[in-house]
Structure 1
Amino acid sequence: MTSKLKVFGTDGVRGKVGEYPMTVDFASRLAGAAASFLAPKGGKVVVGKDTRISGYMFESALEAAFVASGLDVMLLGPLPTPAIFYTIKDCNANFGIVISASHNSYEYNGIKILNNIGEKLDIRLEVDIENQLSKDPITQTADTIGRATRNPNARDRYTQFISGIFNKPNPLRNMKVVVDCSHGAAYKIAPRVLSSLGADVIPIGCSPNGYNINLNCGSNPKLRQYQTLFRHYQLILE
């Protein structure tokens, strides 16, 4: 029988930025706790995010805590969640992190922890991690700390993977696709993937500034955008 979860919800940890649990201190403690269970002997963790302004803050907090725990950190930058799932397996990481609050506005953010095959953690493991939060994290010396690097190839690798799913080239040839990227994580990769499949792509919601995720687009479209989407082939990405 497992204890009741206090900070993990149905899809990781989520809340208003600056309020518990979405604080830098909590993110650092969460990283240390996760590392102690998911990579106790060291290893690699990938960290991806969406385009919220607070994502950079949480990325930095998690990066520092993971490196201090002895893990190598691969930073992916803004990348949609399925692409992060793929990258975890593609680079043989011990686990991965998604910094995102999905359809919520920029005031919110979240941290989702995924196992080594890109799946949500078992609830029993989430309980173990929560119980570890109140304890001081295990930190390494200068000889045993990890290293953080950025992966500039993650988008290209995922684009190649998607293209390889189809058994014929240009399966979307002669199709016009309007894709609303919500000023979110898919703003670069979605048009690229669809174009690689042969589609005539009409991208909207592809100018993130850190504050406009889902603003009059995506899950909250303006009437004009709504009409545009349904005038053509629809694809909305949160």
Structure 2
Amino acid sequence: MGRLFGTDGVRGLANAELTPELGIAIAASAAGVLAESDRSHRPVAVVARDPRVSGEMLEAAVTAGLTSAGADVLLAGVVPTPALAFLVQDLGADLGVMISASHNPMPDNGIKLFAAGGHKLADTVEDAIEARLHEPTSRPTGAHVGRVRDLADAGDRYLKHLLSSGTNGVSLAGLRVVVDCANGAASELAPRAYRDAGADVIAIHAEPDGVNINDGCGSTHLDKVSAAVREHGADLGIAHDGDADRCLAVDANGVTVDGDQIMAVLALAMRDSGELTDDTLVATVMSNLGLHLAMREAGITVRTTAVGDRYVLEELRSGGFALGGEQSGHVVLPAHATTGDGLLTALRLMARMAGTGRSLAELAGVLVALPQVLINVPVTDKAAVAASAEVRAAVAEVETELGDQGRVLLRPSGTEQLVRVMIEAPTTRMAQDSAERIAAVVAAAS
């Protein structure tokens, strides 16, 4: 049996793989592990969800699991994942549970766990929770069973936090923005936040009905927000995913501005305001070489991590850095959020536009992305490929040819028998040819 926890919690087809029974068990186990270090008070958990139809079922299951372990539950309702993380910190809760499958299609769902302070869990803690699932436990009875109450002001608390930290006091008046809410958890709060900050807001895909989340919209379908920006003559478009922990953008011409470009814009803004600790940005190995070149030109150091926002978070916390993220649009500002926050990112991006009077296209133009080609090569043995002298030689040859004008990234898939060959080069033709050469050697070595 494989590990229960994936790269971002536990996910699966709701009511088939991710069942209510499993939800109860995970919640009870998490309450035991995350609250056992402090027995001086009754544990408190905050529970939230995105609007997908199975969320109501899993919310009930998770609540049952938590209360059966003696934890009191505060139900925050439908709010973004970063709102849940903020509420755990703001309320001094012992843990938080977000029921969401992020950008996945509606039939899926997931359980994301947060520890005290609103932080995602380390692998060791997830392993302890999983191990506890298979251990006998005693349950409280009588008055020691957990209680449940609604957290009626959950959204308002989060909005107040966003408005106090998102724009550095810069009004967004004069900016027109289209926001694609993906019919997800930010459908109410994102338009409110941007309007309250002064922007003229046009909201699309902001009418969740339980089944339309991420359905042809949001951050995985930027054509919709791009068309709306051009139609309404907006200054920019913002696209969130189902739980709004990420943000991608398009400029006034409908051209995509990805997470690398957003990080470049924010890094320069934070350098200018003195917020960028040690003039350092944290990104994953998947960020485009263009980001590294642009930051080097600006005197900003880029520290790289493995793929996954948890690794970015670990590096941010261990180094005390102020900005990090992924090309996919997960951006973290640790002074204001403990996880990726799409709404906070969007507010910061728009504040930079309003504060400088420059268009998003001009600001994002600081980064010239190198052509990037990715080939997924099916293999029978990832370990054998990694140890292959022929593969290492092919990689070294291409790296020599590219010099400092490109790079090679060879990465085994974490979940499949695939090796991912990614090449960045000065031209698309050069990147494609180099990727195909290495892919052929990888396939032969497997």
TM over 0.5, shorter chain:
yes
SS in 2 for 1:111: strand
SS in 2 for 1:143: helix
SS in 2 for 1:48: strand
Matched, 1:61 2:64: no
Q: 2:9 maps to what in 1?
A: 12
Q: If you compute each CA radius of gyration, which structure gives the higher value, 1 or 2?
A: 2
Q: Could you tell me how far 1:223 is from its partner in structure 2? A: 4.8
Contact between 2:12 and 2:109, CA under 8 Å: does it hold in 1? yes
Matched, 1:25 2:31: no
Aligned equivalent of 1:39, options 32, 35, 50 = 35
Q: Could you tell me how far 1:119 is from its partner in structure 2? A: 1.4
Q: Could you tell me how far 1:220 is from its partner in structure 2? A: 4.7
- Greater RCO (CA < 8 Å, at least 6 residues apart): 1
Q: Could you tell me how far 1:133 is from its partner in structure 2? A: 0.9
Query: For 1:97-120, what per-residue CA distance to the aligned partner results, in whole angstroms no more than 9, with x for missing partners?
Result: 111101111100000111111111
SS in 1 for 2:142: coil
Q: Percent identity?
A: 37
Q: 2:156 maps to what in 1?
A: 156
Q: 2:97 maps to what in 1?
A: 97
SS in 2 for 1:70: coil
Contact between 1:29 and 1:137, CA under 8 Å: does it hold in 2? no
Q: 2:427 maps to what in 1?
A: none
Q: 1:168 maps to what in 2?
A: 169
* Residues 224, 43 of structure 1: alpha-carbon distance in 2 compared, 3 angstrom cutoff: closer
What TM-score, normalized to structure 1? 0.92
* Residues 167, 224 of structure 1: alpha-carbon distance in 2 compared, 3 angstrom cutoff: closer
Runs in 1 of length 4+ with deviation above 6 angstroms?
A: none
Query: For 1:71-118, what per-residue CA distance to the aligned partner results, in whole angstroms no more than 9, with x for missing partners?
Result: 110111111111111111111000101111011111000001111111
Q: Which amino acid aligns with 2:19?
A: T
Matched, 1:121 2:121: yes
Contact between 1:32 and 1:137, CA under 8 Å: does it hold in 2? no
Which stretch of structure 1 is more off in the superposition, 127-136 or 217-226?
A: 217-226
**Distance in 2 between residues matched to 1:216 and 1:5, nearest whole Å:** 31
Matched, 1:87 2:87: yes
Q: Which amino acid aligns with 2:12?
A: G
Q: Could you tell me how far 1:136 is from its partner in structure 2? A: 4.0
What pairs up with 1:144-223 in 2 under 5 angstroms? 144-165=144-165, 166-168=167-169, 171-221=171-221, 223=223
* Residues 224, 236 of structure 1: alpha-carbon distance in 2 compared, 3 angstrom cutoff: closer
Structure 1: segments with no counterpart, 5+ residues: none
**Distance in 1 between residues matched to 2:129 and 2:25, nearest whole Å:** 10
SS in 1 for 2:143: coil
Aligned residues: 233
**Distance in 2 between residues matched to 1:80 and 1:24, nearest whole Å:** 22
Q: Which amino acid aligns with 2:180?
A: D
Structure 2: segments with no counterpart, 5+ residues: 242-446
**Distance in 2 between residues matched to 1:192 and 1:70, nearest whole Å:** 36
Q: Could you tell me how far 1:67 is from its partner in structure 2? A: 1.0
**Distance in 1 between residues matched to 2:137 and 2:201, nearest whole Å:** 47
**Distance in 2 between residues matched to 1:87 and 1:224, nearest whole Å:** 32
* Residues 112, 222 of structure 1: alpha-carbon distance in 2 compared, 3 angstrom cutoff: closer
Contact between 2:178 and 2:225, CA under 8 Å: does it hold in 1? no
**Distance in 2 between residues matched to 1:223 and 1:92, nearest whole Å:** 41
Q: 1:106 maps to what in 2?
A: 106
Structure with greater helix percent: 2
Q: 2:240 maps to what in 1?
A: 237
Contact between 1:32 and 1:138, CA under 8 Å: does it hold in 2? no
What TM-score, normalized to structure 2? 0.50
Q: Which amino acid aligns with 1:38?
A: L
**Distance in 2 between residues matched to 1:5 and 1:202, nearest whole Å:** 44
Which stretch of structure 1 is more off in the superposition, 157-166 or 189-198?
A: 157-166
Which stretch of structure 1 is more off in the superposition, 110-119 or 220-229?
A: 220-229
**Distance in 2 between residues matched to 1:44 and 1:54, nearest whole Å:** 24
SS in 1 for 2:212: coil
**Distance in 2 between residues matched to 1:219 and 1:200, nearest whole Å:** 21
**Distance in 1 between residues matched to 2:136 and 2:26, nearest whole Å:** 11
Contact between 2:225 and 2:237, CA under 8 Å: does it hold in 1? no
* Residues 196, 70 of structure 1: alpha-carbon distance in 2 compared, 3 angstrom cutoff: same
Q: Could you tell me how far 1:221 is from its partner in structure 2? A: 3.6
CA RMSD of aligned residues (A): 1.7
Q: Could you tell me how far 1:26 is from its partner in structure 2? A: 0.6
Query: For 1:156-200, what per-residue CA distance to the aligned partner results, in whole angstroms no more than 9, with x for missing partners?
Result: 11111111123426x211111110000000011101111110011
Q: Which amino acid aligns with 1:25?
A: E
